[in-house]
Amino acid sequence: MIIMEDEVNRIFRVRAYGAMGDGQTNDARAIQAAIDDCAQNGGGRVILDDGRTYLASSIIMKSHVDLFLEKDATLKANTDLDRFVSPARIADRRSAPQISQLACAQTDRMVHPHAADKPRLAWIYAYDQDDISISGEGTIVGNADEVTHRVNPYYVTEMGLPRPTLIYLEHCRDVRVMGAQIRKAPFWTLHLAGCEHVVVSGIAIMNDLDCANSDGIDPDHSRDVLIENCRIECADDCIVIKNTRGNIEYGDCSSITVRNCDLVSTSAALKIGTESWGHFHDIDVADCRIARSNRGISLQLRDSGLMENIRFRNITIDTRRFSPEWWGCGEPIAITALARDPSQPVGLIRNILFENIDCDSENGILVYALESGHIENLDFSGIKIRLSVKSKWFGKGYDLRPGHNSGIINRAPVAFLIHNAENVRQFEVSGVNELAGLDLDEA
């Protein structure tokens, strides 16, 4: 059913395919029918009308389709995990675009997700598609409350169920995610695996700050990615560039730009790693504002990959410590190279620039490797550091988790703590220390 609303765009309204939009009926079949019809007729815009809540199990995106949420429309994830797609269990990857709504895998509900592998479950999914987009001013809501349990007042994690990735786009080209607000992701929010030519612009991700692993945006083995003008608040990392083991066939993470974003994180606001099974290079991060985060910028090399030619410029960082479940001790910048497994080699971090970074933090900058030869050629230029107590969790310590021989280094905060790194250069570094008895210039 094609509904022509103007001479430029082909418009497919999901209510014309039977979607109720009452927040109780599973509208996945109707939404999928509109997407399929749109794709089969050359592409266009699939519209979720405003003023309604569309409850849905998994949705499969197709080439040349723009899934558009009008301003007051809400798309909400169903809580029936047996009707979610399982990317990790699709044996023939080439058949993935033809998955029907009824072909969603029955899942062993006791299998936990693992960040290094393909997702056990995904809600909004695409594989090997071209020219796809999710846009509009509506709201996308996950089902975090249904698949997690509270460990303590500061930490929520899985309850024996595989928590679904909210949006998993794999091996897609010309991807756009624009304008929408996304909330309540139970696991990674927007996972871009092996994608090329991606624009993520003007979205807001507002996840619970106590829900573990609810990363914001995860470019994974992806290239030519622009992330701009976004507001992200989440537990774990806001924007984290990865090379996971499960998607290693897609090669490097490269040509990635992040600019003009506002970030709040219970872990790291901007991170590269922890999964580092490949080459990261030609990455530029600029003009971002980090507030109320456990860490500002973190480079975590734990596997055999190489991180090089990466720039961080014109960034303000405000850190405070969170409870011990969360990685980090308030470091504004943390660069660490530690083997995940003692039987596997760790790679190399080199040629990294930090320029014009203003830090107001509970801890100092950490550069740390267990042994020499894994961190080299770092430039810190125009760095301002102000150390002050902000939280009830303040204390001694720098966090090396995760990894072999990792843990907390038990020592007082200093401006720079540098261990087993070569050619670390500092230019125009200045600061104020409100922590009595500490020397800001100590390293």
- Look at residue 113 and tell me whether its pLDDT is greater than 60: no
Rounded distance between C-alpha atoms, residue 90 and residue 99, angstroms: 10
Q: Which domain holds residue 37?
A: 1-170+210-226
Q: How confident is the model at residue 20 (pLDDT cuts 50, 70, 90)?
A: very high
The string of pLDDT tens digits covering residues 169-183 is 999 999 999 999 999
Q: Is 443 helix (H, G, I), strand (E, B) or coil?
A: coil
pLDDT of residue 440: 41
The string of pLDDT tens digits covering residues 32-78 is 999 999 999 999 999 999 999 999 999 999 999 999 999 999 999 99
Spatial CB neighbours of 190, under 8 Å, sequence gap ≥ 6: 166, 167, 169, 177, 182, 200, 205, 216, 217, 218
Query: Rg of the chain over CA atoms, in angstroms?
Result: 22
DSSP string, 303-363: SS-EEEEEEEEEEEEEE----TTSS-SS-SEEEEE--SSTTS---EEEEEEEEEEEEEESS
Nearest to 235 by CA among 200, 186, 276, 274: 186
DSSP string, 362-381: SS-EEEEESSSSSEEEEEEE
pLDDT of residue 8: 47
Let me know if residue 51 belongs to a domain. yes
pLDDT of residue 294: 96
In percent, how much of the chain has pLDDT > 70?
A: 90
pLDDT of residue 4: 53
Let me know if residue 357 belongs to a domain. no
User: Could you tell me the sign of the dihedral formed by the alpha carbons of 108, 112, 116, 119, in that order?
Assistant: positive
Let me know if residue 292 belongs to a domain. no
Let me know if residue 59 belongs to a domain. yes
pLDDT of residue 2: 52
**Choice between 82 and 14, residue whose per-residue pLDDT is larger:** 14
Domain count, the chain: 1
Rounded distance between C-alpha atoms, residue 27 and residue 242, angstroms: 33
Let me know if residue 94 belongs to a domain. yes
Let me know if residue 154 belongs to a domain. yes
pLDDT of residue 90: 65
pLDDT of residue 11: 97
**Choice between 136 and 100, residue whose per-residue pLDDT is larger:** 136
Segments of 235-278 assigned E as strands: 239-243, 253-259, 262-265, 268-276
pLDDT of residue 83: 87
| This prediction's pTM | 0.93
pLDDT of residue 376: 98
Rounded distance between C-alpha atoms, residue 76 and residue 82, angstroms: 16
- Look at residue 105 and tell me whether its pLDDT is greater than 60: no
3-state helix, strand and coil shares in percent for the chain, rounded to the nearest 5: 10, 50, 45
Average pLDDT, the chain: 90
Spatial CB neighbours of 233, under 8 Å, sequence gap ≥ 6: 205, 206, 207, 209, 263, 264, 265
Q: How confident is the model at residue 384 (pLDDT cuts 50, 70, 90)?
A: very high
Taken as a whole, the chain contains a residue count of 443
Let me know if residue 387 belongs to a domain. no
- Look at residue 417 and tell me whether its pLDDT is greater than 50: yes
Q: Across residues 231-239, what is the average pLDDT?
A: 97
Let me know if residue 142 belongs to a domain. yes
- Look at residue 112 and tell me whether its pLDDT is greater than 60: no
